[in-house]
Amino acid sequence: MATTHLPDAPEPNALTQQIVEFPNNFLLIDLCGEHDRNLAIVEQALEVQILRRGNQLAVHGESSQVAEAAEVLQALYTRLEGGKTLEAGDIDRELRMGGSDAGPDRDADTRDGDQLEMFRGGKVEIKTRKKLVEPRTEAQKAYVRSLFDNDLAFGIGPAGTGKTYLAVAVGVSMFIDGHVDRIILSRPAVEAGEKLGYLPGDMKDKVDPYMQPLYDALNDFLPGKQLAKLLEDKKIEIAPLAFMRGRTLSNAFVVLDEAQNATTMQMKMFLTRLGEGSRMVVTGDRTQIDLPRGVASGLHDAERLLTAIPRIGFNYFTASDVVRHPLVAAIIKAYEADG
């Protein structure tokens, strides 16, 4: 892969062109995407124009943007050379993080073999049965590292930032590698402005609507039949927070989702379930508290009381870390500005 710069020394904001050459035409087709849709994503994000000439891509625009676009295109091509697929999320990740993963992992010598594989070459990759999961922002990358490095980790921030999704992915990965014997996923069964108590069915039928996001995440990482078997054998449990009382959770990967809706007493109860060989993750969004007026959120108290304790990690996300539809970030920012 060769790169040619025209002109040689452009001014910082001058219009320029950079030619990027790709030796494998088949991979270049995958890089461009159907009807050049992948190139269009890069063009729109970085405000450049990309033209294909044989096995070359010519990038036009302001010099700084052109250089960044060329770096993104080269990184995506390298991904394809490594036998990986290229989806919209992978392009988004490179646009957000650029070459920031390229350096060596300074903490690699402190991790075991499985973690070394996940943090290979400074990159963070979580292997599950169905897909390879890669953080798409620096905050997500730091969060995943915290999940491996701490016995208890908090992920706090707005909806759509991958807090729960990444936690479940790490839990599945650790279960597959034999680091834990089971996965336990929990949420407070607090209604978000809607009354579900009169829904028909037994307790499971009434509770499952609260737990559906956890099922959705698991379905992304495990084949359906295997997931059903693990749920049947109680190797994976999904239960309301109230069901955790009185238990000691040993050799387990435990996730408490929507923790802003746990009361102070519920949060204390949950955190004190931590047993030998277990990891705990607590995720929440302080802007979406559904507790009755006057009831304090246990997530707020946990932040206040636990930040100085070793082996507890606190990780924070903002609207810039949202990885859902681009409008979600704009909506969150609009509400933040109004508040």
Q: Write out pLDDT tens, residues 231-241.
A: 999 999 998 88
Q: Which of 53, 73, 97 is the last residue of a domain?
A: 97
The segment with the largest mean pLDDT, out of 28-37, 98-107, 208-217, is: 28-37
Residue 130 CB partners (closer than 8 Å, separation 6+)? 220, 221, 222, 223
Q: Is residue 331 part of a domain?
A: yes
Is a pLDDT exceeding 80 seen at residue 9? no
- Please report the pLDDT score of residue 254 as a whole number: 96
Q: Does residue 21 sit in the same domain as residue 114? A: no
User: What average pLDDT does the segment 29-51 reach?
Assistant: 89
What CATH number is given to the structural domain containing 30?
3.30.1370.10
Structure tokens at 202: 């037994």
Secondary structure in 3-state letters for the chain: CCEEEECCCCCCCCEEEEEEECCCHHHHHHHHCHHHHHHHHHHHHHCCEEEEECCEEEEEEEHHHHHHHHHHHHHHHHHHHCCCCCCHHHHHHHHHHCCCCCCCCCCHHHCCHHHHHHCHHHCCCEECCCCEECCCCHHHHHHHHHHHHCCEEEEECCCCCCHHHHHHHHHHHHHHCCCCCEEEEEECCCCCCCCCCCCCCCHHHHHHHHHHHHHHHHHHHCCHHHHHHHHHCCCEEEEEHHHHCCCCECCEEEEECCHHHCEHHHHHHHHCCECCCCEEEEEECCCCCCCCCCCCEHHHHHHHHHCCCCCEEEEECCHHHCCCCHHHHHHHHHHHHHC
CA–CA separation, 183 and 185 (whole Å): 7
- The domain of 199 spans 108-338
- CATH code, 269: 3.40.50.300
Beta partners for 53? 56
In DSSP terms, 263 is beta-bridged to 297
Instruction: Provide the angle, in degrees to the nearest 10, between the axes of the packed helices 163-176 and 203-221.
Output: 70
234-272 pLDDT per residue, tens: 999 998 888 888 888 999 999 999 999 999 999 999 999
Name which of 5-19, 76-90, 277-291 the model is least confident about.
5-19
Q: Which among 97, 126, 158 is the end of a domain?
A: 97
How many CB atoms sit inside 10 A of residue 31's CB?
Answer: 23
Mean pLDDT value across residues 94-108: 58
Task: Please write the tens of the pLDDT for every residue from 272-289.
Answer: 999 999 999 999 999 888
Are 45 and 184 contained in the same domain? no
pTM: 0.77
pLDDT at residue 322 in the model: 86
Residue 192 has pLDDT above 70, yes or no: no
Give the number of domains in the chain. 2
Among 97, 130, 149, identify where a domain stops.
97
What pLDDT does 12 receive?
55
Cβ-proximal residues to 9 (8 Å cutoff; 6+ apart), any chain: none
Domain presence at residue 102: no
Whole-angstrom Cα distance, residue 95 to residue 99? 9
- For residues 241 and 263, what is the distance between their CA atoms, to the nearest angstrom? 11
103 inside domain: no
